[in-house]
Amino acid sequence: MPLVDKLDRFMPLTNAERDAISSCIEPEREMQAGGYLVRQGEPYDGSYVMLDGWSVRQKYLRDGRRQVMNFLIRGDAVGFAATFFKEADHSVMALTDIVYARMNHERLMRLIADNPRLGTAMFWSVALEEAMLRERIVGLGQRSAREHMAHLIMEMVARQRHAGIEGAAVHLLPINQILLSDALGISPVHTNRTIRRLVLDRLISTSPRGIEVLDEERLAETGDFDGQFLHEAGED
């Protein structure tokens, strides 16, 4: 199970622990691109795990502007900490057709109570999400469009790799330029120019299906990306 694998990356779990978490995951469901896992302004319906496909976490302002917080892939949890809020302050929308599962929250909380190690692992997962938000803040606040874009692409490559998504699909992002511009906080036109320049410099290439990374090393360099913030290796 993707979530179990993700936690295992941080803290090797016993088989019993793996089974325990898995037992909180309800049967798989599917959703079409454009569907919502969480709707801004409405109550949380529960918490979920992404099993396949891409989603986006985004927030609309009253006047229609949109900010993309993050992209979600296999193994990412949705609304785990936030279910306690009475209504969602942002949305989570399926970007492609996705496979996901509901988590039985009560059961999970009970398991955490019985096994503190699982609690630690879940807290780690929440802290990881926070670290990614902080990285987006740094990108938006301090980095130029070019740096920020390079950083975001590298982040997605690294996350997909961690999630065990390998092969040709690794580098392809199902993200169009409008979406990307709302993630980087810049206009679509400027997004396009920035992409073109990265292509010209042979750092990435584009195709109708998305962006492909050509030179990871130089892309990481231009984005000042080091992956440390993903806390790849666990503490112990």
Partner DNA sequence: CGTGGTGTTGAAGGAAATCAAGCCCGGTGG
Partner DNA sequence: CCACCGGGCTTGATTTCCTTCAACACCACG
Q: Which of 160, 143, 162, 161 is nearest to 151 (CA)?
A: 143
Q: Is the CA virtual torsion 149, 131, 40, 173 positive or negative?
A: positive
48 forms beta bridges with: 78, 102
Nearer to DNA, 23 or 187 (CB): 187
In the bound state with DNA, the residue whose beta carbon lies nearer, of 47 and 91, is: 91
107 touches its own copies (CB under 8 A): no
Q: Which does 206 bind (CB under 5 to 8 A by kind): DNA, its own copies, none?
A: DNA
- DSSP letters spanning 129-167: HHHHHHHHHHHHHHS-HHHHHHHHHHHHHHHHHHTT--G
Q: Which two tokens mark 56? A: 């986006």
Q: Smallest gap, in angstroms, from Cβ of residue 167 to its own copies? A: 30
207 contacts its own copies (rule: CB under 8 A)? no
* Cα dihedral sign, 208-209-214-220: positive
Burial grade of 106 (CB within 10 A; 0-12, 13-18, 19 or more): exposed
Residue 14 in contact with its own copies, rule: CB under 8 A: no
**Looking at 14, 28, 126, 205, which residue binds its own copies (CB under 8 A)?**
126
Q: Which does 39 bind (CB under 5 to 8 A by kind): DNA, its own copies, none?
A: none
CB of 50 to its own copies, least distance (A): 17
Tokens at residue 36, please? Answer: 């919502």
Near its own copies by CB under 8 A: residue from 42, 85, 170, 197: 85
Distances (CA, A) of 9 to 125, 130, 159, 228: 11, 18, 12, 14
Task: List residues binding DNA (CB under 7 A).
Answer: 144-146, 176-178, 185-193, 195-196, 206, 208
CB atoms within 10 A of CB 120: 15
Q: How far is the CB of 120 from DNA (least distance, A)?
A: 39
For Cα atoms 205, 138, 52, give the angle at the middle one, nearest 5 degrees: 55
Q: Nearest approach, Cβ of 200 to its own copies (angstroms)?
A: 24
Could you say which of its own copies, DNA, none residue 114 binds, taking C-beta under 5 to 8 angstroms by partner kind?
its own copies
- Which residues of this protein are in contact with its own copies, per CB under 8 A? 10, 59, 61-63, 65-67, 69, 81-82, 84-87, 89-90, 109-110, 112-114, 116, 119-120, 123-124, 126-127, 129-131, 133-134, 136-138, 140-143, 182-185, 224, 228-229, 231, 233-235
